[in-house]
């Protein structure tokens, strides 16, 4: 049986059955391979002193200098979303990863944000290997781009098999799936696992961009998978399900999950540590030069002052995706005002930055950090019943944080903790009056949502007043709203009441 000498800390999902914590141990002496895993990396530079591709590059070089063979893996979500990605369409990430020495990548939902053509271009520019088992190019029937359905690396007598899985849910809208075929990830894994067994690998490593629950089901269905290096969740998760180690490193390379693999007569040892990426790790000069060049090219225009906020703006992802926040209110108000709608609903997952924006000047750079996707502002006409259906669907996962959770303007509603998921939305009001289910209201929302993104399928095929082809960017609506106001001080005012 494979042995563990790792300090395993399960975060956030204890009920799913992670292993009990053990005493920490030093990295394995004589390990043939060291995996350095990151996921959901949107920024090349450190954020609040943590992260940075140049530091991860140094970490890899330090591991190599210590006598280990390192491989850096990434569990998807890197081409978008960020300020720089809005400008460079993800090329700054590819060039940064090339300089850093990334080895193996799989795709996440944000790799499809710019469409198939841009993704293929970025994959062609990459010097690292893509392993994608379940996303096929409809034109060829093969994995998209230059991806392999599985891969084998042999290091010092240790034979490691890799497969790569991307989620296939509503996070990728129908518009962004054009020309692609997404296979159910857990089903698609079957052929890759069988192929790797036939290669007689010593251990199988799945690099995934799935929810933790899907990773857990993957481990239970395929016990031959020894390690799952995951993504999608933006916080650290390390757990054991069956015999499989599952690890996610958080986001923006603020930490690196290190797994040392050592083969002996009894199997493959997996020694785990979560390494903080902070100022104690200096920049690798070559990677830092690439990163700095892109930062310079962003130009001073992004630093132009737009307006002043008299209060901090709450943009923490977990808060946005589970509760009303003043930043969510500000953005929804800007959308509603820009198109003159009765109400506005925006999915919280489209509001980025994952931080509290300090009170004071708001620059274009900060606005793009909040709204980096290039989504268009649309106006449609819907019934009150459709609005209630949307709120019900969007809060179905609540109180768990979810990208579909709504931030709203022009309406209020109540969430009842005691009720079942499909019954917890109550007392929906528009302009202070109870919503009329058969009345038609005008709604400001995004092209992503009217395309069915994040489960907002009820917005499809509604009467369109301002469509994507005519709509302005949401970030433009936000800038115009702020520039006209000059000063704002949004508050949490009871638009979403919890009881």
Which of 203, 90, 190 lies closest to 157, judged by CA? 203
Q: What is the pLDDT of residue 27?
A: 53
Angstrom distance (rounded) from CA 113 to CA 373: 7
Alpha-carbon distance values, 368 to 84, 303, 474 (Å): 9, 11, 10
Angstrom distance (rounded) from CA 346 to CA 356: 19
Structure tokens at 86: 């809005």
R_g of the chain, CA atoms, integer Å = 23
Structure tokens at 220: 């239970």
pTM of the model: 0.75
Q: What is the pLDDT of residue 344?
A: 98
Within 10 angstroms of residue 91's Cβ, the number of other Cβ atoms is 17
Q: Could you list the pLDDT tens digit for every one of the 499 residues in the chain?
A: 333 333 333 333 322 333 333 323 445 678 999 999 999 999 999 988 999 999 999 999 999 999 899 999 999 999 987 778 878 999 999 999 999 999 999 999 989 989 999 999 999 999 999 999 999 999 999 999 989 999 999 999 999 999 999 999 878 888 889 999 999 999 999 999 999 999 999 999 999 999 999 999 999 999 999 999 999 988 899 999 999 999 999 999 999 999 999 998 889 999 999 999 999 999 999 999 999 999 998 877 788 899 999 999 999 999 999 999 999 999 999 999 999 999 999 999 999 999 999 999 999 999 999 998 889 899 999 999 999 999 999 999 999 999 999 999 999 999 999 999 999 999 999 999 999 999 999 999 999 999 999 999 999 999 999 888 778 889 989 999 999 999 999 999 999 999 9
Q: What is the pLDDT of residue 366?
A: 93
Within 10 angstroms of residue 39's Cβ, the number of other Cβ atoms is 29
Which of 384, 467, 479 lies closest to 433, judged by CA? 384
Q: Find residue 255's DSSP bridge partners.
A: 276
Sketch out the chain's domains with CATH numbers: 14-296 (3.60.21.10), 301-498 (3.90.780.10)
Within 10 angstroms of residue 281's Cβ, the number of other Cβ atoms is 18
């Amino acid at each position: 049986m494979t042995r563990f000498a790792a300090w395993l800390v399960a975060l956030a999902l204890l009920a799913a059955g992670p292993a009990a914590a053990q005493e920490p141990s030093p990295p394995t002496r004589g390990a043939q391979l060291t995996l350095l895993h990151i996921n959901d990396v949107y920024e090349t530079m450190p954020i609040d002193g943590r992260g940075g591709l140049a530091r991860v590059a140094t970490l890899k070089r330090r591991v190599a200098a210590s006598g280990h063979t390192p491989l850096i893996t990434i569990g998807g979500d890197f081409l978008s979303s960020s300020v720089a990605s809005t400008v460079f369409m993800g090329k700054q990430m590819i060039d940064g990863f090339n300089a850093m020495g990334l080895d193996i990548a799989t795709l996440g939902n944000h790799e499809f944000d710019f469409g198939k053509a841009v993704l293929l271009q970025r994959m062609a520019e990459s010097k690292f290997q893509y392993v994608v088992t379940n996303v096929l190019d409809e034109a060829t029937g093969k994995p998209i781009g230059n991806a392999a359905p599985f891969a084998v690396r042999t290091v010092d007598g240790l034979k490691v098999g890799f497969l790569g899985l991307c989620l296939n849910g509503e996070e990728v809208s129908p518009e962004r799936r054009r020309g692609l075929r997404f296979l159910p990830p857990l089903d698609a894994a079957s052929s890759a696992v069988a192929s790797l067994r036939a290669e007689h690998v010593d251990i199988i490593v799945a690099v995934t961009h799935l929810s933790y629950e899907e990773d857990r089901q993957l481990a239970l269905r395929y016990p031959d998978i020894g390690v799952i290096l995951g993504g999608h969740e933006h916080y650290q998760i390390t757990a054991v399900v069956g015999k499989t180690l599952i690890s996610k490193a958080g986001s923006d390379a603020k930490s690196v999950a290190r797994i040392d693999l050592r083969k002996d007569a009894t199997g493959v040892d997996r020694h785990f540590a979560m390494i903080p990426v902070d100022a104690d790790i200096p920049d690798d000069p070559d990677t830092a030069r690439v990163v700095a060049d892109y930062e310079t090219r962003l130009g001073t225009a992004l630093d132009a002052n737009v307006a002043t906020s008299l209060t901090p703006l709450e943009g923490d992802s977990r808060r946005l995706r589970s509760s009303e926040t003043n930043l969510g209110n500000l953005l929804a108000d800007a959308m509603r005002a820009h198109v003159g709608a009765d109400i506005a609903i925006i999915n919280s997952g489209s509001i980025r930055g994952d931080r509290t924006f300090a009170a004071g000047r708001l620059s274009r750079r900060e606005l793009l950090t909040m709204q980096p996707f290039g989504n268009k502002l649309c106006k449609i006409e819907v019934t009150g019943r459709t609005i209630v259906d949307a709120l019900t669907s969007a809060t179905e996962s609540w109180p768990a944080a979810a990208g579909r959770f709504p931030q709203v303007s022009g309406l209020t509603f109540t969430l009842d903790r005691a009720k079942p998921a499909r019954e917890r939305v109550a007392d929906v009001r528009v302009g202070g009056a109870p919503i009329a289910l058969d009345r038609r209201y005008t709604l400001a929302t995004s092209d992503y949502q009217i395309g069915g993104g994040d489960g907002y399928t009820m917005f499809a095929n509604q009467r369109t007043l301002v469509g994507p082809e005519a709509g302005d960017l949401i970030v433009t609506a936000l800038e115009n709203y702020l520039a006209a106001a000059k000063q704002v001080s949004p508050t949490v005012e009871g638009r979403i009441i919890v009881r």
